Structure 1
């Protein structure tokens, strides 16, 4: 039997697909990258934003139309968040909920034989140390916990991922050690909120980062998104952990709005001043830190004055990466009962922030032109060459290098999203 897996969404979802593939491989089921030759197709869905929802809905509909004889299984967040819509658009599809990945082989085999199997619901089963199938193995994703402690009014993902469930540090370190021994050069620690790690188990994110970074080998560690609320009482120790030479000088710290009123309406649990204090400490202690943040444009209670405060905040902190999202109602989210900002206002604000975003990130990158950087080559470029990462996790295009190697390059040009370089020495 041959199975094709297509994944939408975040790093955590990518790891879920790797677990599904690993379970299938252990059961002697082939994973292929050509949908035409597949007997069973698995679509691992993301539901965090409306455009992504529309993509996965369209994909499921088109697969049924174009491949009527193939069996289809839907996985990911849609299974838990919107089973009613999934039933409507795919009445003959099987399901694998994000907490039921250990049953992947059983579901695939039954679906292949003509049954419609639907497994959903929550589980405390660990996702660390389980079988994973990764194509080249250079970048290894480890899910350090699942679920969150948040109550954000705009979010529906928490309904799919459930309450916080942290995995033991010893297990995470064990998986990292094995991955490095098998050739991984980048370990990505991921979660819905890495800063929440250990709040339910008594362990600490800072200790986890240090223990992984202290493993033998030439590799880098990337720490995933951290909710500002959950980093407040552990800032100094996390800074100390990220200072480790094997950890990227990188933090993903979403703010969502520069207005305290909107943050309160969103139930984010922190203020703009607290966020600014966190950023200030990181930049003071790690001058080359890359700050990534998220902004939601046009939250229902966002006034023109609130929007102006967001603009002011971005111009003050100048994030190296800004992920912009236009607010849209999500199924089950508290804010979905509110009246949306008029489309013309949303469009105007989004366009304005997009221009600011491009200018800030371009200005940040251009400052690196002419510098010598030690970079880690992590993947092949889609248009030729290779993609490497600086110690601050900024992508660099480089030619004539080996995957998984550390090389020195001179930065020759910069765009708003990446750097260009020439090789100095291997």
Structure 2
């Protein structure tokens, strides 16, 4: 029996796919790299945005048309968020919910034999220390918790991932230790909201970061997205943890809007003043910090004045990475009952913000031209050369280096998304 897994979406979803593959291998079921070689196809779905929803729906339909003899299993967030649509487009598909990954082998075996098996619902089972199939990269992903404490009006992912469930620090550290011993050079601590870690268990994100970073070996730690409201009570200690030399000087702190009115409508649970205070503390304490932000353009209650405030905040905080999303209704989300911003207004705002985004990020990266950076080489580039990361987690193109090595480079050029470099002799 051979299985092909195709994954969409975030780092957390990628880790789910690695767990499913690990469970299958433990049960002597082979993982293959092409659909043509597979008996069973698992489509690991993401449902956070409408374009991704459309992409996975099209893929599920297309696979059934092109490979009528192959069995299809759908996993990921769509399974818990939109079962009505999933049943409509794939009535003969089996399902594996995000909390049912330990049953992957049973679902695959039953589906292969002609049954339609649908495992859904929430559990408290840990996703740390379980079998995983690495993709062969030098990056090891560890899910530190699942679910969130948020009530964001625009989000449907929380319906798939459920309430917060943090995993023990000791288990996370042990998985990191084994990964480093097996050659991992980057440990990614990921979650829907890493700042929520431990709120249900009494442990703290800052302690977790320090314990992982204090492991022996040459590696870096990347801390995933943090909700601003959940960082407020632990800012100083998280800053102290990210100062550790093995932790990237990087934070992903979504703001979504520069307007307090819109943030309140979104039920984000923090103000612009609080957000700016957090960013100011990080930048004052960590020179060269890379700040990544998320912005939703055209939330239903956003007017021109609200949009202008978002632009003003971006110019003030000068993030190095800006992830833009046009607002779109999502299944079950509270804001889906609101009237959307007119398409022509949405298009205008999005275009303007895209231009601002490129200007800000390129300007920030250009300031690094001429500097010498120590970088970690992590993967081969798709167009030649290698991709490395600075201590601030900015991608750098490097030539003639060994994967997994730390090298010194001089930055020779910059774009809005990456740096160019020349290798310096050690």
Which category describes the TM-score, using the shorter chain as reference length? over 0.9
Matches of 1:350 and 1:188, distance apart in 2: 31
Q: Which residue number corresponds to residue 245 of structure 1? A: 245
Q: Which residue number corresponds to residue 399 of structure 2? A: 399
Q: Which residue number corresponds to residue 301 of structure 2? A: 301
Q: CA deviation at 1:174?
A: 0.4
Check if 1:424 corresponds to 2:424.
yes
Matches of 1:137 and 1:212, distance apart in 2: 19
Say if 1:137 and 1:183, in contact at 8 Å, map to a contact too.
Answer: no
Q: Secondary structure at the match of 1:99?
A: coil
Check if 1:350 corresponds to 2:350.
yes
Q: Which residue number corresponds to residue 166 of structure 1? A: 166
Check if 1:91 corresponds to 2:80.
no
Query: What is the correspondence of 1:57-68 to structure 2 with a 5 Å cutoff?
Result: 57-68=57-68
Q: Which residue number corresponds to residue 70 of structure 1? A: 70
Q: CA deviation at 1:384?
A: 1.4
1:189-243 Cα shifts (integer Å, max 9, x gaps): 0000000000000000000000000000000000000000000010000000000
Greater Cα offset, 41-50 or 128-137: 128-137
Matches of 1:103 and 1:406, distance apart in 2: 40
Q: Secondary structure at the match of 2:201?
A: coil
Q: Secondary structure at the match of 1:358?
A: helix
1:224-265 Cα shifts (integer Å, max 9, x gaps): 000000000100000000000000000000000000000000
TM-score, structure 1 as length reference: 0.99
Q: Which residue number corresponds to residue 21 of structure 1? A: 21
Query: What is the correspondence of 1:194-273 to structure 2 with a 5 Å cutoff?
Result: 194-273=194-273
Q: Secondary structure at the match of 2:378?
A: strand
Q: CA deviation at 1:312?
A: 0.4
Q: Which residue number corresponds to residue 383 of structure 1? A: 383
Matches of 1:139 and 1:300, distance apart in 2: 38
Q: Which residue number corresponds to residue 36 of structure 1? A: 36
Matches of 1:253 and 1:349, distance apart in 2: 22
Matches of 2:215 and 2:397, distance apart in 1: 28
Q: Secondary structure at the match of 1:382?
A: coil
Say if 1:145 and 1:166, in contact at 8 Å, map to a contact too.
Answer: yes
Q: Which residue number corresponds to residue 7 of structure 1? A: 7
Matches of 2:403 and 2:13, distance apart in 1: 24
TM-score, structure 2 as length reference: 0.99
Q: Which residue number corresponds to residue 275 of structure 2? A: 275
Q: Which residue number corresponds to residue 104 of structure 1? A: 104
Matches of 2:222 and 2:315, distance apart in 1: 26
Check if 1:192 corresponds to 2:188.
no
Matches of 1:296 and 1:125, distance apart in 2: 33
Q: Which residue number corresponds to residue 147 of structure 2? A: 147
Matches of 2:288 and 2:64, distance apart in 1: 49
Q: Which residue number corresponds to residue 131 of structure 1? A: 131
Say if 1:154 and 1:266, in contact at 8 Å, map to a contact too.
Answer: yes
Check if 1:320 corresponds to 2:320.
yes
Matches of 2:354 and 2:135, distance apart in 1: 35
Gaps of 5+ in 1: none
Say if 2:80 and 2:159, in contact at 8 Å, map to a contact too.
Answer: yes
Q: CA deviation at 1:137?
A: 4.3
Matches of 1:364 and 1:212, distance apart in 2: 30
Q: CA deviation at 1:425?
A: 3.1
Matches of 1:104 and 1:49, distance apart in 2: 26
Q: Which residue number corresponds to residue 176 of structure 1? A: 176
Check if 1:292 corresponds to 2:292.
yes
Gaps of 5+ in 2: none
Q: Which residue number corresponds to residue 360 of structure 2? A: 360
Say if 1:223 and 1:251, in contact at 8 Å, map to a contact too.
Answer: yes
CA RMSD of aligned residues (A): 0.6
Say if 1:137 and 1:182, in contact at 8 Å, map to a contact too.
Answer: no
Say if 2:137 and 2:379, in contact at 8 Å, map to a contact too.
Answer: no
Moved over 6 A (4+): none
Say if 1:4 and 1:31, in contact at 8 Å, map to a contact too.
Answer: yes
Q: Which residue number corresponds to residue 310 of structure 2? A: 310
1:369-417 Cα shifts (integer Å, max 9, x gaps): 1111100011111111111000000001111111111111111111100
Say if 1:138 and 1:378, in contact at 8 Å, map to a contact too.
Answer: yes
Matches of 1:3 and 1:268, distance apart in 2: 40
Q: Secondary structure at the match of 1:9?
A: coil
